[in-house]
């Protein structure tokens, strides 16, 4: 099994990769920090990965995405699964005060993802098999005052994946949209962590299972499907007054 993971040094990506390592997969790990990638690669090889190669890239360097795909295929000798797991949880207030801050968040969480998806989709479509999996978020299901810039990016990715899923189904390529809720990771360390927060290991296993089963959409943990169903059913007149 040949698996590429974008944003491989993030907590969720690393936890998910551990399950692929257990399967003896060949892994191609992409991230911004060579040092962090090296640590992750070493860990995954100890856990059973047949190989774990690394590639340093800032995902906002869109002009290098083609190079990334070519290097991935050349290094792995093909591609079965690509997991797009990078992202930032920006400061909502800063985005409200700065167009530049807003665009940065949208570029990282939406535009760079869409660029990678376009290239990988074309490759897998010609191959007529494979899986594209992307970590979106429940935040994209409904805009909330506390994180609507982040939610906008995730909503764009989710909609893009819906269309892509329909397009690639004809070619035998699976597209999986993964929607985690709140997870106790370094990215959320500054937030008050309540009962709905999940642990990275459990979420990583959920992501792995969703990919292996070829699900269309997976809420991870599963209770978030019910939570978001309730949230989406609240009338707008009431919803806009809620402290969310």
Count of CB atoms situated within 10 Å of the CB of 135 = 26
In percent, how much of the chain has pLDDT > 70?
95
Mean pLDDT of 122-145: 97
pLDDT digits (tens, 9 = 90+) for 69-102: 999 999 999 999 999 999 999 899 999 999 999 9
pLDDT digits (tens, 9 = 90+) for 42-66: 999 999 999 999 999 999 999 999 9
CATH 3.40.50.720 fits 2-239, yes or no: yes
Cα distances (Å, whole numbers) of residue 120 to 68, 125, 179, 217, 221: 10, 8, 20, 19, 27
Are 165 and 121 in contact by the 8 Å Cβ rule? The answer is no
């Amino acid at each position: 099994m040949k698996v590429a993971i974008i944003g491989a040094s993030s907590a969720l990506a690393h936890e998910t990769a551990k399950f692929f390592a257990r399967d003896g997969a060949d892994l191609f790990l992409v991230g911004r920090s060579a040092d962090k990638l090296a640590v992750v690669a070493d860990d995954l090889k100890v856990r059973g990965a047949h190989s774990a190669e690394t590639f340093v890239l800032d995902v906002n360097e869109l002009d290098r995405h083609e190079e990334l795909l070519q290097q991935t295929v050349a290094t792995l000798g093909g591609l079965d699964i690509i997991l797009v797991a990078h992202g930032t949880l920006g400061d909502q207030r800063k985005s409200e005060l700065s167009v530049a801050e807003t665009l940065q968040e949208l570029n990282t969480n939406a535009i760079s993802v869409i660029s990678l998806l376009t290239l990988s989709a074309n490759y897998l479509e010609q191959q007529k098999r494979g899986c594209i999996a992307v970590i979106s978020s429940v935040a994209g299901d409904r805009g909330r005052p506390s994180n609507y810039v982040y939610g906008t990016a995730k909503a764009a990715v989710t909609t893009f994946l819906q269309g892509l899923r329909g397009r690639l189904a004809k070619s035998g390529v699976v597209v999986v949209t993964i929607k985690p809720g709140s997870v106790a990771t370094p990215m959320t360390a500054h937030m008050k962590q309540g009962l709905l927060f999940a642990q990275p290991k459990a979420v990583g296993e959920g992501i792995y299972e969703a990919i292996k089963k070829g699900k269309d959409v997976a809420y991870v943990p599963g209770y978030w499907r019910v939570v978001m169903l309730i949230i989406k059913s609240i009338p707008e007149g009431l919803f806009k007054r809620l402290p969310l």
